[in-house]
Structure 1
Amino acid sequence: MPEAPLTSARIAVTEDDDELRELLVSELAERGFQAVGFASAEALYRHLAVQSCDIVLLDIGLPGEDGYAVARHLHQIASVGIVMLTARGKSDDMARGLSTGADLYLVKPVDMDVLAAGIASLRRRLSSSERITAAEPTPRWALVAGGWKLRTPDGVELSLGEAERVFLRMLLEQPGEPVDRERLIAGMTESPADFDPHRLEVLLHRLRQRVRAASGHALPLRAVRGIGYLWLHEGG
């Protein structure tokens, strides 16, 4: 079996079919890639919050957030290659996938040698781009002005209310780790028992809208089902 060049690439295989996901991870690992598998977008986001990768191999028909939305979000928050691998082979599906951020669009079933070659080719292109931009500092999200403003990676500053300030500060203090709702509520009020938990969802919804309207950025924050909320960027 031929070995693909640049096989040290780290691949995040995001596929909800357990059997196919295990097969893809196994086949890529046999070719020397560092491959790990995830069954949902949420699992992928939690991984990326604490561990970077080079390429995301992405199914479209995921539970919850579909592959189109995942590609769009990844394109905004992370420097990764995106390979869509899906059973949807129509031209409009392909056009939609590429327009939402996919670098490569492949249709199932796919020959593993073709997939490996495509990944290696994409990794070469990404490596060339990385060398060009290696000297440039990585922009970060940050709380400034004593925590009363949120600064986006391109320098836009958004004024925060007291509840937003506390909410974001607690999340940015431990990026990549979920903060439970009870802890957030306790930090935002002196009377947690009287605080309606739905106010957190409203606060986050309005904050997302304000950030997008002011800067065009998607807030790199995710709800973690049954727990609380997660800030996706290392270092804030």
Structure 2
Amino acid sequence: MTAPLVTILDDEPAIRTMLTDALEDAGFRTLSFGRAQAFTAALAQHQPDVCLVDLSLPDTDGLTLVHKLALEQGAIVIIISGRALVQDKVTGLELGADDYIIKPFDPAEVVARIRARLRTSKPAPTTGQTARFASWQVLFDQYVLEDDAGQQTPFSHAEGEVLRLFLENPKRLISRAQMQDHLGGAASESFDRAMDVRISRLRTKLREDPKNPQLIKTIYGAGYIFLGDVTWQ
């Protein structure tokens, strides 16, 4: 079995070296880059399992790159940044990042978070990569929603984690605590806000009426419930 591939994008050579050493010692394969241009060019030939991305890059806006990776690449995206403000974390998560690690950090923590994310991103053995509900088909291997007319709408890895959780537990209440446990986040205001944003975006992509959604219902004070009938292939 091939070891997971982790790409590292950071303009500080010492950080790239530290992360490369820690990850390879832990059994991962790595590729590291100091510029976004070289990183994006490499994605044409490599399919990383995890992307570690610094926000303060000399040749591009890190947040824009995170959003593009989340929508197009399908990899787990973890931000590593010196920006410690809550709003920076929230923005990164809203744009599709799966986790946010603040510099300075212990490389062992990065390894542990990557392992946790890889565990939670694996599909459950009882389900497949394609699900049908209402007038929709979701293709988890392609990160797209497809309507009956064949029109496709992409979703991010982070949105896909939430959607899979709903589809694997239809017509059952899912509490915030269960979401936190399943998705591997830490209990915090930023985690709650990130979940609200992901669910809001899923509703938009499912063309739900935000005032009266029919598929993803909010049970105030308790959590969420997915009301569709789901079949897996």
Report the alpha carbon displacement of residue 17 of structure 1 after superposing the two structures with TM: 0.8
Aligned position for 2:4: 9
For residues 48 and 112 of structure 2, what CA distance do their matches in structure 1 show? 18
* Counterpart Cα distance in 1 of 2:140 and 2:123: 17
CA distance in 1, matches of 2:39, 2:114: 18
Q: Structure 1, residues 17-61: CA drift from partner, whole Å, max 9, x if none? A: 112112211111111111110112211211111110100011000
Higher strand proportion (structure 1 or 2):
2
**CA separation in 2, counterparts of 1:94 and 1:28?**
24
TM-score normalised by the chain length of structure 1: 0.53
Alignment of 1:100-179 (within 5 A): 100-128=95-123, 132-134=127-129, 136=139, 154=152
Distance 1:130 1:58 in 2: 30
Q: Quote the offset at 1:7 in angstroms.
A: 9.6
Pick the structure with greater CA Rg. Answer: 1
Q: Gaps (5+ residues) in structure 1? A: 1-5, 141-151, 156-215, 217-236
Instruction: After TM superposition, give the deviation of residue 114 of structure 1 in Å.
Output: 1.3
**Unaligned runs of at least 5 residues, structure 2:** 131-138, 144-149, 154-204, 206-233
Q: 3-state DSSP class of the match of 1:128?
A: coil
Closer, same or farther: CA 36–89 of 1 in aligned 2, 3 Å = same
Amino-acid identity (%): 24
Give 1:11's aligned amino acid: V
Match among 53, 61, 66 for residue 71 of structure 1: 66
Q: 1:129 to 1:87 in 2, by over 3 A?
A: farther
Q: Cα–Cα, structure 1 residues 123 and 98, in superposed 2: closer, same or farther, change >3 Å?
A: same
- Is residue 2:46 matched to residue 1:55? no
Alpha-carbon offset, residue 15 of structure 1: 0.5
Q: Distance in 2 between matches of 1:76 and 1:53?
A: 14
Structure 1 residues 31, 137: closer, same or farther in 2, change over 3 A?
closer
Quote the residue 1:26 is aligned against.
Answer: 21
TM-score (norm 2): 0.54
Contact 1:139 1:153 in 2 (8 A): no
2:34 is aligned to: 39
Give yes or no for contact 2:4–2:29 (8 Å, CA) kept in 1: yes
Q: Name the SS for the 1:109 alignment partner.
A: coil
Q: Is the 8 A contact 2:80 2:100 kept in 1?
A: yes
Counterpart of 2:76 in structure 1 is 81
Q: Tell me which residue corresponds to 1:97.
A: 92
Root mean square deviation, CA, Å = 3.1
